[in-house]
Each structure stands twice: as C-alpha cells, then as structure tokens.
Amino acid sequence: MKLPKITLFLSLFLISIFTITSCTKGPGKGGRATIWGRVYARNYSNSYLQTDSGYLGGQKVYIKYGDQVGVGDDVDTDNSGTYSFPYLRTGKYTVYTYSKQLRNNKLDSAVVQTLEIKSAKENLELPQFNVITLKN
C-alpha cells in the first residue's frame, strides 16, 4: 500500500523540524569562546594580621553551565593566578572560587561572578576574584 504524497511530505517535514530543534545546544563545552581571569589573595596569619598579598597559584576555580545544578568544570590557577575556561558556547555561565572567612576560618565562602557569552568567538575577561587565605 502506497502512502499519499502529502502524507510522505508531511512526515519528512516533521522529521526535519524535530531534527533541527533537537540540535540546539546551550551553554557548555564545544564552542570557540573563552572565559578567563585572575585570583588575587590577601594572606592572613592565625592572629588575623595581613602578612602579604598577591596573585594566587593553585587555587581551584569552578564553572557552571547555564542553569546546571552541579559543577560543569574546574581548573587550577597558574603561578600568576590566571585561570581559563576555553571552548565554550554562547550562553549564561557562573564562575566561582572559595575564600576563607576571617571570623570563622573553618568555613569557606563562595566568591561568585555570573556572565553571558553572546558571541561565538568571544574572549571574555572577568574582574579578578579577591580571596582571603590563612597562613601560619
């Protein structure tokens, strides 16, 4: 039994629409944009006196893609305190790191920045993160 031409055409049209709309990609890896920045630390002694400060190497920086609940990726800063998240698609992102609290050094607090990549090749520099570390 042959299908009428209109039914065949309509079926192909619906499959094409479904395929096109299902390939829409949101924030995350797979693009050509980059988010980068630096982490600056103020170091305090156990008696809460500032001992020194500077850009912090080895600090974890995290990124969340769009409305994602968990961490999308994390990187460590290099010796100059610089981090980078390359190969991102357009969309909304949350970038954060953790800082000590001077009042209760057992708890860390998140330092958060939100942003949106609007261009496929955007190279977006965030304002530096300012964190507190405790040294003996």
Q: What is the pTM of this model?
A: 0.79
Per-domain boundaries in the chain: 29-134
C-alpha angle 101/63/126, rounded to 5°?
A: 80
User: Does the structural domain 29-134 have CATH classification 3.40.50.970?
Assistant: no
Please write the tens of the pLDDT for every residue from 74-97: 999 999 999 999 999 999 999 999
Tell me: the pLDDT tens digits for 34-64? 999 999 999 998 788 889 999 999 999 999 9
- Cα 41 to the chain's mean position, in Å? 20
